[in-house]
Amino acid sequence: MISLILDNIWMILFVGLALPLLTYRSKFRKIVYQTNSWVINIKPVFTDELRGIIGGLSIDHPKYKRVRDYYRSYLVVYLVMVLFYFDFSGFTQTKKSDSSDTRIGVGSTLPSFSLKDQYGNTFSIDSVIGKQNLLIYFYPKDGSPGCTREACAFRDEFEEFKKAGTMIIGISGQSVESHMKFATENRINYPLLSDEGNKVRKLFKVPANLLGLIPGRVTYIIDKNGKVVFVYGSQVMATSHAEKALKIVKGLK
């Protein structure tokens, strides 16, 4: 049930907020244009409505200010949610990146890097290139609800990825100690690399969310030749990373 809600969270939020927004917009327009007809809701007149929203209109009506304030509040929340949606809803890349795009994307060669895993051992990506396919996923933070669900989804599908000849690697900016605690609590059975300072995240140019304030949640699949063949990003639908990635790796040789 929780998974179903999370998978449809944007639709739930949009519908849930749209209802009171449209209700108060209707009340506001009827007051502003001094009518009780529902037709005003579809009539293409907006000047006085906009003036009223920004406080540039004075109307002698007992409910005007209260209705205006409610309408204004719901409108602001809805617009912010739209911004979140376009920033958080996710993306999939299966075709080669544009030559002018400097981010690591489909067709890019995996850059060399070394980081410490949750056990404090140095892990060099060069040591596994050519031996098996790689799945590298960047996540924001150990222990957060979304990151825990994502890590556990990869854990639960570990054997399937192994059968497909794919090694799973998680990367985030927390310390080795934080990774060890996170891995132990959730029985993580693959490397979690500590990218303190976000050097590797910056190397990949992983897209951030919410105007750059939240580290992005992005998954990369790399073939045995060290070439990126798939990129998927979704901040909210954390468990979808494992699902989508598994479908891709099963098609790799």
Q: What DSSP element (H or E) covers 244?
A: helix 240-249
| Helix, strand or coil, per DSSP, at residue 91 | strand
Q: 106: Cβ–Cβ under 8 A, 6 or more apart, which residues? A: 93, 94, 95, 96, 97, 228, 229, 230, 231
- The per-residue b/e assignment along 202-232, b for 16 or more CB within 10 angstroms, e otherwise, is eebebbbbeeeeebbbbbbbbbbebebbbbb
C-alpha torsion 211→213→217→223, nearest 10: 80
Q: 203: Cβ–Cβ under 8 A, 6 or more apart, which residues? A: 104, 111, 113
Sheet holding 218-222, edge to edge: 91-93, 228-233, 218-222, 133-138, 166-172, 192-194, 114-116, 122-124
Which amino acid makes up residue 8?
N
Closest C-alpha to 195, from 178, 180, 210, 175: 175
Q: List residues bridging with 171 in a β-sheet.
A: 138, 193
| Helix, strand or coil, per DSSP, at residue 18 | helix
- Out of 53, 125, 134, 147, which one is annotated catalytic? 147
Contact present, 135 and 229 (Cβ < 8 Å): no
Q: Is 152 a catalytic residue?
A: no
**Enzyme catalytic residues:** 147
